[in-house]
Structure 1
Amino acid sequence: MKFLTPAAIIAASLAVGATAATAQTTKLRIQNHQSPESTSGRLIAEFVENVSAMSGGEIDIEMFYSSAVVKSAETFDAAASGILDCDMTNGSYQTGKNPAFQFVADTMGGYDTPLQYQAWIAFGGGMEQINELYTPFGMTFVGAHVGGQESLASTRPIAGPADLEGFKFRSPPGMESEIFASMGASPVVMDFTEIFTALETKIIDGADASSLAVNVGLGIYDIAKHTTFPGFHSMSSDHLACNTAVWEAMPEAHRAIITAAEENLAYKLMMLTLVENGEALAALPEQGVTIYDWAPADRAQFRAAAQQAWGEWATKTPETAAIVESHKDFITRIGLGD
């Protein structure tokens, strides 16, 4: 069953109000790094359908899954340069441009739920902070979507911090690699789309890919028979960011429709991840997967390492310092801080 948020309904009404005389068409090429079968991938397909329906066919999106056009880390630049129009991957790939991108993608040890992170974007100044970062690169941040805390997957036991010693695992670029390295692990930065093959060929022992449900969709647990749940280490958010010239050339109604469809995607991803994580949690033990729920003391050890990394990263650039301070202020504002 498909349903739309109030914002989507408003956007749809804007589209209905457009007359044939003023109608414009918008064609977009967008790349994401999710597989079509995954939780996120299926909702991205629905996003495309919703945009088309709300615009009466005026907006035509050609969506590329599994980084089919360029590598995941190259998507942002491909959109900025006009090879693509929009990027639906992850800001963490751009930490080489500015470390502040880390805190758009994943605060690591910051928020407990995706709703808290989305509240920062909508009501904590996050939207403005992010666009101050994206604008110099010719990109506009439209929105973000994240299902929930991620689960580490491994071919060997990962019952606690002691098991991280020598643990060779796929990590996204950025702060996560440093945090886990400080705890004895051996992070390997690689493209999201390369995880399954790297596990299959034993290049890595495990992976930080995504949520329990998405990991199932990627086939990771066909190989990796150990995983953590509930997640604690990462809640990585994918974004929708568009070439600024392309975005600003669209009719206002089209921008409203796309924004509303992205908000609907984010809302449904939180709910569907909750449901499918629960289903996966029940099914995985029957498939021979061992699930580890780290003790509070073990989680605290990771959080301490993450908080130290926050402080170190905040000194890297003025933009990173500003966005870290914004997160800290909002965490205090919502009563989440210690």
Structure 2
Amino acid sequence: MKFMKTALATAAVAGLATASAISGAMAQETQLRIQTHYAPETVSGKLAAQFVDDVQTMSNGEIQIEMFYSSSVVKSVETFDAAATGILDCDMTGGAYQTGKNPAFQFVGDIMGGYDTPYQQLSWLYQGGGFDAADELYGKYDMKLVGWWIYGQESLASTKPLAGPEDLKDWKFRSPPGLETEIFAELGAKPVVMDFTEIFTALETGIIDGADASGIANNVGLGLYDIGKHTNYPGFHSMPSDHLACNKAKWDAMPEHHKRIMDTAMQKLALQTALTFEVKNAEAVAMLPDQGVTIYNWSEEDRAAFRAAAQKAWDGWAAKTPEADALVKSHRAYLTQLGLISQ
């Protein structure tokens, strides 16, 4: 009897070892090369690093991510194409860089003059029918939208005062491509489209007077306020939806549990980004005056004037393609539902 028990125990252990070996052999691995425009020392860069750690840990190492920071492989605007063609696997910049492909990308990248908070903008994606509409757009270019991470309203950095709209006249500043250039040009500014990674040098050498780069805490991490001693807060003009978008063929080849892990980690990243910047932006605002930075709080009237100009500009962009028109209509309907605009 004792011999039989020992034999059974030995067989059970052997069976478990065999099952474990088979399971290990069957475990699928996913290798991802992802580029972000953020530097690793910025708040967003650190949050991206946490996303990588979350994915690798939750997948027990089955998903391995090589993250390229500061657009170190290709320029920020080229990240989407690099992922679509297999140079990279995923793009962790933003859809607004792709307005040259289709103006509709403006309304998944930086809606401008729309939502007040990251939570409202995320709710359009997940509760307002936005995800399916956006993912359909990405699919036309062989990419899969995985999710958004939104840090909130941006603040400008400037070597000149920015007390109100009148100070925008002849203000030469770095602008991302797209709708923003038109809105600011209408207000008298001189937008210059340049890559995210070129901002600091352009500001330092006086090529530009200021920059639309990121939220105030990220601007601190980029060192912009070492040069530009004027900024605005709270922001009002721009709230980019940074995205994670992956090569569609690469995504489709991933096992379902890997896709779920990526989706879950992105939704955590979205929440942590919004929460973290609530705190980090406040810390930056408290710290900057001691460093000689002047912070301007634009009046409600001035902010409203910009929002009205931005929303008027939506119509011109909506007329450019059916996809842009559909997204603008979707945002207008949802903003009306939230009580942020009236039709």
TM-score (structure 2 length as normaliser):
0.92
Which residue of structure 2 aligns with residue 320 of structure 1? 324
SS across alignment from 1:278: helix
Higher gyration radius (CA): 2
Which residue of structure 2 aligns with residue 165 of structure 1? 169
Report the residue type matching 2:110 in the other structure.
D
Which residue of structure 2 aligns with residue 36 of structure 1? 40
Distance in 2, Cα, partners of 1:103 & 1:307: 11
Which residue of structure 1 aligns with residue 88 of structure 2? 84
> What's the CA shift string for 1:227-264, capped at 9, x where partnerless?
00000000011100000000000000001101111111
Distance in 2, Cα, partners of 1:193 & 1:265: 23
Distance in 1, Cα, partners of 2:230 & 2:237: 16
> What's the CA shift string for 1:167-207, capped at 9, x where partnerless?
00000000000000000000000001111000000000000
Report the residue type matching 1:81 in the other structure.
T
Greater RCO, CA 8 A, separation 6+ = 1
Which residue of structure 1 aligns with residue 4 of structure 2? none
Which residue of structure 2 aligns with residue 194 of structure 1? 198
Which residue of structure 2 aligns with residue 73 of structure 1? 77
Which residue of structure 2 aligns with residue 145 of structure 1? 149
Which residue of structure 2 aligns with residue 250 of structure 1? 254
What RMSD in Å do the two structures reach over aligned CA positions?
1.0
Distance in 2, Cα, partners of 1:319 & 1:189: 24
> What's the CA shift string for 1:19-75, capped at 9, x where partnerless?
435310000000000000111100000000000100000000000000000000000
Distance in 2, Cα, partners of 1:240 & 1:99: 19
1:63 aligns with 2:67: yes
Report the residue type matching 2:61 in the other structure.
G
Correspondences of 1:299-310 after superposition (within 5 Å): 299-310=303-314
Residue 315 (structure 1) shift: 0.4
1:205 aligns with 2:209: yes
Which residue of structure 2 aligns with residue 182 of structure 1? 186
Correspondences of 1:117-156 after superposition (within 5 Å): 117-156=121-160
Distance in 2, Cα, partners of 1:311 & 1:146: 24
SS across alignment from 1:20: helix
Which residue of structure 1 aligns with residue 54 of structure 2? 50
Which residue of structure 2 aligns with residue 15 of structure 1? none
Which residue of structure 1 aligns with residue 300 of structure 2? 296
Distance in 2, Cα, partners of 1:45 & 1:300: 36
Extract structure 1 runs of 4+ deviating beyond 4 A.
Answer: none
> What's the CA shift string for 1:287-318, capped at 9, x where partnerless?
00000000111112111210110111110100
Distance in 1, Cα, partners of 2:91 & 2:110: 17
Residue 136 (structure 1) shift: 1.2
Report the residue type matching 2:146 in the other structure.
V
Report the residue type matching 2:139 in the other structure.
T
Report the residue type matching 2:155 in the other structure.
S
Distance in 1, Cα, partners of 2:27 & 2:333: 43
Correspondences of 1:257-296 after superposition (within 5 Å): 257-296=261-300
Residue 143 (structure 1) shift: 0.3
Give the counterpart of 1:235 among 213, 234, 239. Answer: 239
Which residue of structure 2 aligns with residue 217 of structure 1? 221
Report the residue type matching 1:105 in the other structure.
G
SS across alignment from 2:214: coil
Distance in 1, Cα, partners of 2:308 & 2:235: 16
> What's the CA shift string for 1:206-232, capped at 9, x where partnerless?
000010100000000000000000000
Aligned-pair identity (%): 64
SS across alignment from 1:209: strand
SS across alignment from 1:134: helix
Distance in 1, Cα, partners of 2:301 & 2:334: 25
Distance in 2, Cα, partners of 1:58 & 1:297: 53
Distance in 2, Cα, partners of 1:281 & 1:85: 37
1:333 aligns with 2:341: no
Residue 335 (structure 1) shift: 2.1
SS across alignment from 1:137: coil
Distance in 2, Cα, partners of 1:131 & 1:148: 22
Gaps of 5+ in 2: 1-21
1:93 aligns with 2:97: yes
Distance in 1, Cα, partners of 2:163 & 2:197: 26
TM-score (structure 1 length as normaliser):
0.94
Give the counterpart of 1:102 among 103, 106, 111. Answer: 106
